[in-house]
Amino acid sequence: MFNEARRMNSAVLQALVVAGVGAVVALLVGNTPPLLAVGAVLGLLTLALFLQRPDYALLGVLLVRASSDLSVVLQRTTGLGILQSGSSNVVLIGMLVVAGGLFILARGVPLLGLPAGRLMLLLLFIGLLAAYRSDSRLLSVSEWVPVLAGFIAYSLAAYLFRTPRAIRTVLDVIAASFVLPAAVGFYQLIRHEGVVVAAFERPRVTGTFVHPNPFGFYLVIMLALFVSQALVQQGRRRIVAFLGSCAAGVLLLATFTRIAWAGALIVILIIAFYRSRLLLLAVPVLGLLAVLMIPPLAERLADPLGGSLADRFTRLWPATIGAWLAATGSEPTLLSVAVSRLTGLGPGMGLLLAERGGYFRFSPAHNDYLRVLVDYGVFGLLMFVASSIVMVVFAYRTLHGARATDPFLASVALMFLSLSLAFPIMSFTDNVFGYTANQLYFWALAGLTVGVHHLAHSDARESRPQKAFLSS
């Protein structure tokens, strides 16, 4: 009876979506050029497929999102950009949110049971309330939806991929997403293209991303994936993982993103500590060779706390705090001041504060903790910090539970443990939170770690009776 009711709810939800799709198609055909209408219809058909197979939706987004900003790169370097990155990303994330959200509602996916699930839901709820009160609801919603997409990716990955084979498939798809960004990154490196900075001899490579920093954060994820898998895989998989590690390392250096270098160092140290102490010896040797062979690296490291980082400490962050205090303190009553400071001005409002203040035009605070404080308030900041701590503890416990069962499963938990420690560090000097190109991969790996946790505990429960029998 319960299954019948669940199927009925799913059918009703899909019927509503089909009706909405029909209305949108009719509107598009009548009011848009034929080429755009055909593209929209194809996108809606893809959405219909994703409604039936949300696992395909997640895998498709993970495969494509790392390259969906390519049109901006082409437009900037060659003038060949055809599609706007913003519109393509909206379609991608929209399909994931709609298909994944309907699946979660229809199947009753236990969101509250996920590690940090309650904290993330509270953060989303606070952000939605703040968006309703913000000066620009459209901007706030557009900044809130990527956070929702990350949580949906987390929920879907934890629910749908719970076998070693399924987990391996997701890792293969994420690895495949690296092919095009790596190709573009090496093309830029060879051709001396990218973001030109007066202080450097060479441009900073961006790959398929719009800026070197998010490309650097993505490369930290790929480095964690490839290095962890190179230590446990055999044959061709090990060779591919080794080559991927080398490619990600070279491109990461070429981004000249210091905080991403710090994140990569944390990843390597954590993996080396648990899997191969030889990596601990390789890190300083490789770092010294890189500095000697690439002069701009030495220039970047000569003053690690100077340049743009010093500007953050002395100008950007104090100005952000001052602008937030002024904006929240201008409320007419003490109650409204308290509400604004506790629940935030709304997702994305840090961008407007920066624009109005003129201290860093069209840029957030380059600090996720300040950004969450402005956008989500004190309550949101507490949820954000608490969820980061919970994920680190969860990954640590999962790793220790999986190490006794399966090396591959342990490598997935180790990969996520290294990232769960690296990302909060990188958040201190840049904006990682809410940027879908990185958050989707991070939270998908978090979902896989949930699957590893269940597999490790089920294997442990099955092994206890066998041990008891053997001991008797």
Consecutive sets of 10 residues in the chain, 472 residues long: mean pLDDT of each?
52 55 51 54 66 85 88 56 54 82 86 93 93 86 90 94 94 96 93 76 85 93 95 92 92 88 91 79 61 54 56 73 81 82 87 63 72 92 96 95 86 96 91 83 96 82 47 40
d(C-alpha 437, C-alpha 142), whole Å = 15
How confident is the model at residue 248, as a pLDDT?
94
Shortest CA distance to 201 belongs to which of 74, 311, 300?
300
How confident is the model at residue 468, as a pLDDT?
41
235: left (phi over 0), alpha (psi -120 to 50) or beta: left
How confident is the model at residue 91, as a pLDDT?
75
Degrees to nearest 5, angle at CA 87 with 27 and 179: 135
Instruction: Calculate the alpha carbon distances from 319 to 331, 359, 378, 427 in Å.
Output: 19, 7, 18, 18
Q: Which long-range contacts (CB under 8 A, 24 or more apart) does 92-95 make?
A: 92/61, 92/64, 92/65, 92/68, 93/61, 93/145, 93/146, 93/149, 93/436, 94/145, 95/43, 95/46, 95/47, 95/50, 95/57, 95/61
d(C-alpha 412, C-alpha 449), whole Å = 7
* Dihedral sign from CA coordinates of 274, 279, 280, 284: negative
Q: For residue range 278-326, list pLDDT tens digits in order.
A: 776 666 666 655 555 455 555 555 555 555 666 666 677 787 788 888 8
How confident is the model at residue 94, as a pLDDT?
81
How confident is the model at residue 82, as a pLDDT?
43
d(C-alpha 170, C-alpha 101), whole Å = 20
Instruction: Calculate the alpha carbon distances from 57 to 48, 51, 90, 177, 287 in Å.
Output: 10, 8, 14, 14, 39
How confident is the model at residue 258, as a pLDDT?
83
Degrees to nearest 5, angle at CA 111 with 448 and 405: 30
Degrees to nearest 5, angle at CA 396 with 427 and 113: 85
How confident is the model at residue 195, as a pLDDT?
79
d(C-alpha 286, C-alpha 462), whole Å = 44
* CB contact set of 319 (below 8 Å; sequence gap of 6+): 357, 359, 360
Neighbours of 106 (CB within 10 A): 19
Strand ranges for 51-139 from DSSP E: none
Identity of residue 201 = E
Question: Dihedral through CA 363, CA 365, CA 368, CA 372, nearest 10?
Answer: -100
How confident is the model at residue 28, as a pLDDT?
45
431: left (phi over 0), alpha (psi -120 to 50) or beta: beta
* Dihedral sign from CA coordinates of 298, 299, 302, 305: negative
pTM, two decimals, is 0.84
Neighbours of 309 (CB within 10 A): 17
d(C-alpha 375, C-alpha 407), whole Å = 41
Placement of tokens 């497929």 in the chain: 49
Helices (H), 403-435: 407-426
How confident is the model at residue 466, as a pLDDT?
42
Q: For residue range 54-65, list pLDDT tens digits in order.
A: 888 899 889 989
List phi, psi (to 5°) of 204: -85, 125
